[in-house]
């Protein structure tokens, strides 16, 4: 059956799951943000990163999941070419940002553990990591401004990306997978491997150090 309803999984079970996912994302992340704004410890460095992660995840719910829900209701794209490019660009930005803010948090924790004496608690470094995470997300999403366009598919207008050949699709999906999964996963894994190694080395040094004679 070559119906667009099949492509968009216009099924009540999956539609319900998407609504539940949307509500959970919005409610839980909004609760985290509200809790951090109300707590006395909201200015701590760790809470700053948690706040940024919650904000990025909240945008995922509002911009990515909710828009997909709306499109599954309308089936056709009704917002025109300009909004097609902007919406798909913003969806990619928040998706990348949700991942790279977590990478920024991992880098910050690694720096704090490996260089405790030189670790700067200034907000400039923390803000720099967050700004870098969003800039990387924006840069990785720019191609979507060019690739997406409104096309008629099976009689309905769709916000569509058409790369032509299966080979091009394979290359594109590989690049996206590397940018959103492989690269962040390797960076986070490397950070925590360094953290574990540093803690283990320092613990071993403390155990093997000679006791201090007291008089």
User: Tens digit of pLDDT for each residue in 55-113?
Assistant: 999 999 999 999 999 988 888 899 889 999 999 999 999 999 999 999 999 999 888 88
Give the position of tokens 């990306």.
161
- Residue 72 in domain: yes
- Residue 40 in domain: yes
- Residue 10 in domain: yes
Most confident of 159-163, 180-184, 201-205: 180-184
- Residue 214 in domain: no
Give the position of tokens 């968009």.
8
In this predicted model, what pLDDT tens digit does every residue of 15-69 receive, in sequence order? 888 999 999 999 999 999 999 988 765 578 888 999 999 999 999 999 999 999 9
Give the position of tokens 């950070």.
191
Output the CA torsion sign for 184, 143, 161, 75. positive
Cβ 93 vs Cβ 176: under 8 Å: no
- Residue 213 in domain: no
DSSP string, the chain: ---HHHHTT--HHHHHHHHHHHHHHHHHHHHHHHHHHHSTTTTSHHHHHHHHHHHHHHHIIIIIIHHHHHHHHH-S--SHHHHHHHHHHHHHHHHHHHHHHHHHHHHHHHHHHH-TTT----HHHHHHHHHHHHHHHHHHHHHHHHHEEEEEETTEEEEEE---SHHHHHHHHHHHHIIIIIHHHHHHHHHHHHHHHHHHHHHHHHHHSPPPP--
Indicate which CATH number applies to the domain containing 39. Answer: 1.20.1070.10
Q: What is the pTM of this model?
A: 0.84
- Residue 109 in domain: yes
Calpha distance 28→101 (Å, rounded): 18
Name the residue range of residue 198's domain.
Answer: 4-208
Calpha distance 156→135 (Å, rounded): 35
Cα angle 41, 43, 48; round to 5? 105
Cβ 71 vs Cβ 77: under 8 Å: yes
Contacts of 74 (CB under 8 A, 6+ apart): none
Contacts of 116 (CB under 8 A, 6+ apart): none
How many domains does one find in the chain? 1
- Residue 215 in domain: no
Confidence label for 122 from pLDDT (cuts 50, 70 and 90): low
Cβ 31 vs Cβ 45: under 8 Å: no
- Residue 147 in domain: yes
Cβ 137 vs Cβ 96: under 8 Å: yes
């Amino acid at each position: 059956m070559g119906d667009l309803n099949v492509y968009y999984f216009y099924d009540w079970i999956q539609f319900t799951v998407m609504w539940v996912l949307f509500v959970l994302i919005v409610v839980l992340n909004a609760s985290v943000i509200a809790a951090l704004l109300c707590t006395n410890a909201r200015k701590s460095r760790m809470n700053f990163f948690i706040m940024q992660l919650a904000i990025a995840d909240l945008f995922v719910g509002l911009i990515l999941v909710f828009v997909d829900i709306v499109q599954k209701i309308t089936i056709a794209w009704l917002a025109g070419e300009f909004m097609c490019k902007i919406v798909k660009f913003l969806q990619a930005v928040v998706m990348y940002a949700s991942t790279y803010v977590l990478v920024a948090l991992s880098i910050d924790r690694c720096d704090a553990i490996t260089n405790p004496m030189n670790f700067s608690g200034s907000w400039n470094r923390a803000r720099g990591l967050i700004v870098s995470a969003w800039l990387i997300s924006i840069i990785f999403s720019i191609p979507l401004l060019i690739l997406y366009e409104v096309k008629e598919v099976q009689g309905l207008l769709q916000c569509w990306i058409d790369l032509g050949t299966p080979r091009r699709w394979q290359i594109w999906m590989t690049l996206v997978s590397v940018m959103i999964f492989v690269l962040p996963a390797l960076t986070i894994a490397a950070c925590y491997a360094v953290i574990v190694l540093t803690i283990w080395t320092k613990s071993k040094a403390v155990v093997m150090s000679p006791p201090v004679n007291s008089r």
